[in-house]
A and B are shown apart, each in its own frame.
Chain A
Amino acid sequence: MTDPSRQLAETIRVAGASVLATLTRTFGSLQLAEDAVQEAALAALRTWPASGIPDDPRAWLLVTARNKAYDIIRRESARPAKEAFASDYHQVGPDTAEEALSMLEPDSAVRDDMLRLIFTCCHPALAPEARVALSLRTLAGLDVAAIARAFGVPEPTMAKRLVRARRKIATARIPYRVPDDAELPERLPAVLSVVYLIATEAHSPSSGDVVTRIDYEQEAIRLARLLCELMPGEPEILGLLALLLFSFARRPARTGPDGSEPVLLRDQDRSRWDHEMIAEACSLLAEAVRRSSGVAGPYQLQAHLSACHSTAASWEDTDWSRIVALYELLLMMTGGAAVLLNWAIALGEAEGPGAMLTALDRIAGLEASHLWHAARADALHKLGRGEEAAAALRTAIDLAPTAPERHMLTRRLAQ
């Protein structure tokens, strides 16, 4: 963050998202607001290096973007009628200085605009991948090329996905508003899953320009912190932020010395974990428990699971029976083969390899998963069934999707 050009870009990105939120409300069009903010950001990049970052960057961007929006509307209305009809832009009133002043609103209004934007981008009427893409574009202020790279799709594909999402918001009239308390339980999970997917599904390419590389885990943490600020005391948000922090705190130990090969939790050097961050996550989780009146949501449960690992001195010292119980609760809530697999592995630690193998063999539908075969190999090896273990491990190697995972499994086979 010491690099001044990087700090500049970061300021524009963060302030830009909240300007976008306000303009979307005042103009009634997400597309127009995005175009205007984009132009204002370019103007800031041109002028700020010489003039310095203004005292109130958000106000500067807001006034500039607002004027850009009026410019765009004037350009649009000068175009032939047929094209104007195709435009999603709403008609707006005249440009007055008074109006510009009235847009510089108190913090509470900025907060509400940001929430509106979040709930619009994460509306359940949008496809999950569209929600994630739109949130990265509007809330995190990333450009289309970066989002496309993160999800391994060509840039035109991602651009089309974003256009389709914005068109649906305009055409189907997805409202720009914060759900009321009665609706919140139905609407919040969609928002949380977007943040979770950004942390877990988006990947920065390991090669490429360091300056343009984006840390998606940190981006998700930033969004979760923003949600905590906007909706203080919401237990599932606290649970999600705790979960993300527990995971991020392990990052220094998650890969080997060359930075690519994954290191299993069991083998991680726990002194390299960020223990300050783990302490913060623990207190967030405690806060979530206090506020959830005994009813834990799925993110809080996952955070509890993560806490068990993060606070254990070693793999062997981990409270495995608590982990088994937590997985069983999670299974009742969400189900899913991945949860079953982790439950079986935890059961192995709590009750031994026999119980683990029985549990693994009862899970249907994971025959194509290298993780399932690797877990079976582990159980078979501990039961002294070496040949079967080696065969299972070889199947796992064949099925492993990435080279680092194949390497890791191959080394295990050699042992």
Chain B
Amino acid sequence: MALYAALVYLPANEYWTDQPEQVHRPSDGYEVFAAEAGAAGVLQGGQGLYPPEMATTITVSGGKGGDVIVTDGPYAEAKEVLGGYFLLEAADLDEATKWASQIPASWTGGKVELRPIVPMQE
């Protein structure tokens, strides 16, 4: 079995940009997916993210312990923004793909990116 992060990208203009302070309520589709993937033992975790307007970007200049530079938001305007992720455990990429295609973002104008997770080294 392998672990994949299913990164859920949403169209920036359909995200919560209008009311950034509003708490995100996932659509029913996400609940259905979570229930089914959970019951199948595929869903190993996941979180939704507040929109980029709520983001803070941090860099440190001059090496570790150097000046901490804090800026508002992400660097660039993007058409699609990361809205959350699911952790999926699947036998192979085809099985992970089958589940990723059940995540509503994949058919509602967003997309899902599957990234294999680097295993922890003992």
Which residues in A have some Cβ–Cβ distance to B below 8 Å? 85, 123, 125, 171-175, 177, 179, 183
Contact = CB atoms under 8 A, between A and B. Distances in A.
Contacts of A85: 121
Contacts of A172: 93, 114, 116
A187 to B, nearest CB: 9
Which of B2, B91, B94: most chain A CB closer than 10 A? B94
A190 B110 CA distance: 24
Nearest to A177: B94
Interface of B: 2, 91-97, 114, 116, 121
A175 B95 CA distance: 9
A362 B62 CA distance: 58
B95 to A, nearest CB: 8
B93 A125 contact: yes
B121 A173 contact: no
Contacts, number: 25
B92 A171 contact: no
What are the nearest 8 A-B pairs in CB distance? A175-B92, A173-B92, A173-B2, A172-B116, A174-B93, A172-B93, A175-B94, A173-B93
A174 B92 contact: yes
Main secondary structure of the interface of B (DSSP, over half): mixed
A172 B97 CA distance: 11
Nearest to A171: B116
Nearest to A183: B94
Contacts of B114: 172
A175 B121 contact: no
A175 B90 CA distance: 11
Contact of B93 (A175, A179, A183): A175
A179 B2 CA distance: 20
Which of B95, B114, B116, B121: most chain A CB closer than 10 A? B116
Nearest to B96: A173
Which of B92, B93, B96: most chain A CB closer than 10 A? B93
Contacts of A175: 91-95
A216 B92 CA distance: 33
Contacts of B121: 85
B71 to A, nearest CB: 33
Which of A172, A175, A177: most chain B CB closer than 10 A? A172
B54 to A, nearest CB: 31
Contacts of B96: 173
A179 B94 CA distance: 9
Contacts of B2: 173
Contacts of A177: 94
A65 B116 CA distance: 31
A178 B104 CA distance: 28
Contacts of B93: 123, 125, 172-175
B3 to A, nearest CB: 10
Contacts of A173: 2, 91-93, 96, 116
Contacts of B91: 173, 175
Given A173-B2, A174-B92, A175-B95, 15 more contacts: A85-B121, A125-B97, A172-B93, A172-B114, A173-B91, A173-B92, A173-B93, A173-B96, A173-B116, A174-B93, A175-B91, A175-B92, A175-B93, A177-B94, A183-B94
A183 B94 CA distance: 10
A166 to B, nearest CB: 14
A364 B2 CA distance: 47
Contacts of A183: 94
Nearest to A124: B97
12 contacts: A125-B93, A173-B2, A173-B92, A173-B96, A174-B92, A174-B93, A174-B94, A175-B92, A175-B93, A175-B94, A175-B95, A183-B94
A329 B114 CA distance: 36
A173 B121 CA distance: 18
Nearest to A174: B93
Nearest to B98: A183
A175 B2 CA distance: 12
B53 to A, nearest CB: 33
B100 to A, nearest CB: 11
Nearest to B94: A175
A179 B92 CA distance: 13
Contacts of A123: 93
